[in-house]
Structure 1
Amino acid sequence: MTPTVFFLGFLFLSNFHLTHVQSDEQGFISIDLFQKGIDFGKDLIIKKGVSSLTPLELPQIEKAVKIKLIGTVHLTLSDINLYKVDVSSSTVQPGENGLVLIVSGAKASLSMNWGYKYGTLIVISDKGTASVQVESMDISLTLNGKNQEGNLNLSLTDCGCKVNNISIKLDGGASWLYQIFVEAFEKKIRSAIEVAITKQIQNIITDLNPLLQTIPKEIRVDKISSINVTFVNDPVLDGSSIGVAINGLLSAINRTTGFDHRIQNIQSLSSCGRRPAKMGGISIHQNVLNSASAVYFNAGVMHLVLDKLPEQYLLNTAEWKYIIPQLYKKYPNADMILNISISSPPILSVSHQSIDATIYADITVGILDAGERVPVACISSLSTISCYPDISRDNITGSIKLNDFNMFLNWSNIGVLHMDLLQPFTETLLRTVAVPYLNLIFYWGLPLPTFKGYTLSNAKFSYVGSSVLICTNVHQVKKRKYYPVADQ
């Protein structure tokens, strides 16, 4: 995929909007691109577009002119090459008919060969080189996008190029020849440039659509899950933003998700475009989070074996002899192992200031007895936590807070456990050891995924209805050692 082909699709492919979903299938992830983001994308498109326009070869131009005392002179311009385009002013605006991009006052440089001949019995000819400077050129195009069976189809509904002022310089030849060439070829050169640039833009869009159809409807997240990126509606352009909705649910690799909830209250991202304006806004419905929860639970990865801790003394029966005396009596100063397994998919919901999770877990307490792991009791727990995600230094960071914790005995091989003593002691350990330790990890965070070298920056989280709203800018990422998931 050429750079220009990619970036002409950039404005549509990276903007998902939920406020106008009219498909039978629901969209659970949305991104709106606002004027600041549209301008950012426009600058990328122009930068990459110029590189695809140059070099551009124009067809040969010929003309015969009659000159007094000489007769008919056959003039030729060949090897015409547009090798440079400079753009200093441009605008882009979403409208009812599509995305309108206008370039004004662009400059361009061309090189070519000239030649002439005249005479019948005695043929006189000459040749040389010439250069043309386009002092002012305007280009406009209107792009429209449609949802075609879950993929995006782009169409160029309008495209035009107008060359306003040019200057021609001939190297070699007689002085009288210059004026003849200018009069003979100025209009033809203008027309040739206009036709060639318009045709090249049309070719880019024609080449882009087959590539858009090859975009998979599922993108692999890791070895366990993939995300459904099927488009569920046409792109929406309302004069100040542009967007489209995707399904967004996660499923196991090569399997269709069984998660089938519907959105009742779709959230608007318009607040992200207010001052201080952001480039865009991302809305993630809680159903996306719950689909991920179900996938990873069913994959059997939601378990943890604790046999080492920073405070290793906590995993010794001596530390628990006053809470579970029969454990210490039967296994004095023995090392302990905690096998923690999530017993059902965590239930995630979006509240007015956080992402809340309800987690059911089974904790099997084991003892190392003569090198052998011996299970002695199983305790079930119900925890509710609040998560506060953030983005910092190109990393996704955050913190968690334990809201409530309850536990009850499943079974025991060491007699009855006093849960009224065990629960507060365990909860204290969670609040003073486990949660701070996890928050330290979350403080450093994980690298954000990148897309073609770009990622989110200066993002702000908010919570509306059942969705997490992320108002964000985008910036280019320097090379780093982390593996960029979205660049697969």
Structure 2
Amino acid sequence: MYKMRLLALLLVTVTHTHANYPALQAVLSQNGLRKVSHWMTDWLQSKLSTIKLPDVRGDVDIKIGTIHYLLYDMSVQRCDLPEPSVAFSEGTGVALQVDGLSIAINGLWKTHFGLIHDSGWFSLAVYNVNLSAVLELDNNDGCLSILTPVCSADVGYVQANFHGGGSFFFQPFVEMFSSKITDKIREKICPAFKKGIEDVDGHLAAMSDAINMDPYVFMNISLTDSPIVMDSALRLNITGEFYSKNFSSEPPFSPSPFQLPWQNKYMLSVGMSEFCINSASYAYLKSGVLKILIKDDMIPKTFPLHLNTSQFGFLIPQLPKLYPNLTMQTLLYASETPLFSFTETAANFHLLSAAKFTAIKSDAEVPLFRLDMDCSFSAKAYIDKQLLKGFLVMKNLTVTLGSSDIGDFSITPIKNTLTLALTKVVLPKVNAQLKDGLPLPFVKGFILRNSVMNIENGFVTIGTDIDLLH
């Protein structure tokens, strides 16, 4: 199941379009294709032993008459499945070649020859099955489509042994049976293979066109155009836009074109534009989750300043005179969409926010004042030993008095206090954590290896290999 999920993850994606420019791009390299093929071979090897084969019926002319036969209740006892040769077929899809597949099958047989009816069991060995096919990849209303325009198959030879009943009578004619059975198997290989591809295509078409990220937002991952098949890679251009589940509107900005650089040594390369991340910020803003109510009991007791009107006296002299020794609380929220931008040297973050301060008096809230804040940060980020590491610095902090119910007061002491708290307390803790590193996101059942991250103008890229978790 995990392998099928990864195959879908690498090949499929999702409807809702803001523009034709993709905000996400993914490139599966030839190395990635080979690895997926290896996983699929292991998966098929394990599944083949559980497959019930369709009945085979026919007749053989033995010169003195015709033997009618039925082979049924067949199951695979052993399968030697060599790893397929797979390669991208430029402009089309994937070329698949399987050589030397061998299968051992047990089943039951029935025959009738004139008035003679007989039955028993048999063992059948099918040697050197070869399959050649081309999988054509296309875009079907934003979902990946897979077709099989080319398929050919051949069977080397079949060795059959009949047991039970009067099989000793029919065993001399096994070569005739084998030739007929070989033809029947050859006829069924490509239709069975195409049916399997049709099932995969139907599964892809039935998949949801969005990924639920959490209770608040979902991500549209529909294809913006047809898959781009190169001679050594497959590129998928993906919408990559986030939406609020409660307020599904377009953000006031649009995606810009970008070209994902990739290297064949990595299985998978992913590029994420500023628009992708900023649409997530907009979706969370519209979902109403970019806010927090800060109460005094949330502040460590050792912290020098607490949410109390008397303690705020050195910042706002009139506050303790108007409301002495009252507990305060602060509603901190983003007033506009937090925006990210990328340059070749850093990731930048710009946040416009506000903080509404109220005092608690007889279980009622008394409005005090609102601060408007404009702050920006810059970060260096990289991946080291599968951990996201970096360093964050504050570039700017502007604080203004948005409104006041207690009269005018100077903002300078508050700005100085906030700057001191951010630079001496908050940022050092954040940077200590970034120095140790944060774990990368993962897909259940898989682990990332050899990952690297690069920040480019307008987008960020990740190149990675992927392994199964055992």
**TM superposition score category, shorter chain reference:** 0.7 to 0.9
Q: CA deviation at 1:219?
A: 3.5
Q: Distance in 2 between matches of 1:99 and 1:166?
A: 30
Q: Distance in 2 between matches of 1:340 and 1:148?
A: 45
| 1:211 counterpart = 2:203 | yes
Write the mapping of 1:157-236 to structure 2, written as runs, cut at 5 A.
Answer: 157-171=149-163, 177-181=170-174, 183-236=175-228
Larger mean CA deviation between 462-471 and 327-336 belongs to: 327-336
Q: 1:427 to 1:168 in 2, by over 3 A?
A: same
| 1:270 counterpart = 2:262 | yes
Q: CA deviation at 1:14?
A: 6.0
Amino acid of the structure 2 residue aligned with 1:383: C
- Residue in 2 aligned with 1:304? 292
Q: CA deviation at 1:127?
A: 4.3
- Residue in 2 aligned with 1:279? 267
Amino acid of the structure 1 residue aligned with 2:329: I
Q: CA deviation at 1:73?
A: 6.2
Write the mapping of 1:61-140 to structure 2, written as runs, cut at 5 A.
Answer: 61-66=58-63, 71-72=64-65, 74=67, 76-79=69-72, 81-83=74-76, 84-96=78-90, 97-114=92-109, 127-140=119-132
| 1:375 counterpart = 2:374 | no
- Residue in 2 aligned with 1:55? 52
Q: CA deviation at 1:24?
A: 7.2
Amino acid of the structure 2 residue aligned with 1:12: L
- Residue in 2 aligned with 1:430? 422
Q: 1:204 to 1:11 in 2, by over 3 A?
A: farther
- Residue in 1 aligned with 2:242? 250
Residues 217 and 287 in structure 2, CA contact (< 8 A), matched pair in contact too: no
Q: 1:467 to 1:135 in 2, by over 3 A?
A: same
Q: Distance in 2 between matches of 1:4 and 1:187?
A: 37
Q: 1:437 to 1:448 in 2, by over 3 A?
A: same
Residues 77 and 112 in structure 1, CA contact (< 8 A), matched pair in contact too: no
Residue 37 of structure 1 is aligned with which of 27, 32, 35? 32
Residues 293 and 346 in structure 1, CA contact (< 8 A), matched pair in contact too: yes
Amino acid of the structure 2 residue aligned with 1:184: M
SS in 2 for 1:270: coil
Q: 1:446 to 1:417 in 2, by over 3 A?
A: farther
Q: 1:238 to 1:379 in 2, by over 3 A?
A: same
Q: Distance in 2 between matches of 1:413 and 1:40?
A: 65
Q: 1:89 to 1:48 in 2, by over 3 A?
A: closer
Amino acid of the structure 1 residue aligned with 2:30: Q
Write the mapping of 1:327-406 to structure 2, written as runs, cut at 5 A.
Answer: 327-331=319-323, 333-369=325-361, 371-387=363-379, 400-406=392-398
Q: 1:198 to 1:146 in 2, by over 3 A?
A: same
Residues 163 and 190 in structure 1, CA contact (< 8 A), matched pair in contact too: yes
Q: Distance in 2 between matches of 1:144 and 1:255?
A: 38
Q: CA deviation at 1:137?
A: 1.8
- Residue in 2 aligned with 1:484? none
Deviation digits for residues 133-192 of structure 1, max 9, x if unmatched? Answer: 1232222221112212323322111122222243323335676853421x2022222222
Q: 1:210 to 1:128 in 2, by over 3 A?
A: closer
- Residue in 2 aligned with 1:18? none
Q: CA deviation at 1:253?
A: 2.5
Q: CA deviation at 1:414?
A: 4.5
Normalization by structure 2: what TM-score?
A: 0.83
Amino acid of the structure 2 residue aligned with 1:314: L
Larger mean CA deviation between 85-94 and 310-319 belongs to: 310-319
Residue 240 of structure 1 is aligned with which of 221, 232, 237? 232
Q: Can you give the 5+ residue segments of structure 2 that lack an aligned partner in the other structure?
A: none
Q: CA deviation at 1:345?
A: 1.2
Deviation digits for residues 51-100 of structure 1, max 9, x if unmatched? Answer: 2682222421321213xxxx446263521625243313322111123211
Q: Distance in 2 between matches of 1:469 and 1:303?
A: 30
| 1:12 counterpart = 2:8 | no
Amino acid of the structure 1 residue aligned with 2:12: L
SS in 1 for 2:21: coil
Q: Distance in 1 between matches of 2:382 and 2:315?
A: 38
Q: 1:475 to 1:8 in 2, by over 3 A?
A: closer
Normalization by structure 1: what TM-score?
A: 0.80
Residues 382 and 454 in structure 2, CA contact (< 8 A), matched pair in contact too: no
Residues 69 and 112 in structure 2, CA contact (< 8 A), matched pair in contact too: no
Q: CA deviation at 1:438?
A: 5.4
Q: CA deviation at 1:233?
A: 1.0
Larger mean CA deviation between 205-214 and 26-35 belongs to: 205-214
Q: CA deviation at 1:234?
A: 0.9
Q: Distance in 2 between matches of 1:349 and 1:7?
A: 30
Q: CA deviation at 1:267?
A: 2.1
Superposed CA RMSD in Å reads 3.6
Identity rate, percent: 20
Larger mean CA deviation between 209-218 and 337-346 belongs to: 209-218
Q: CA deviation at 1:108?
A: 0.6
Q: Distance in 2 between matches of 1:286 and 1:140?
A: 42
Q: Can you give the 5+ residue segments of structure 1 that lack an aligned partner in the other structure?
A: 16-22, 479-488
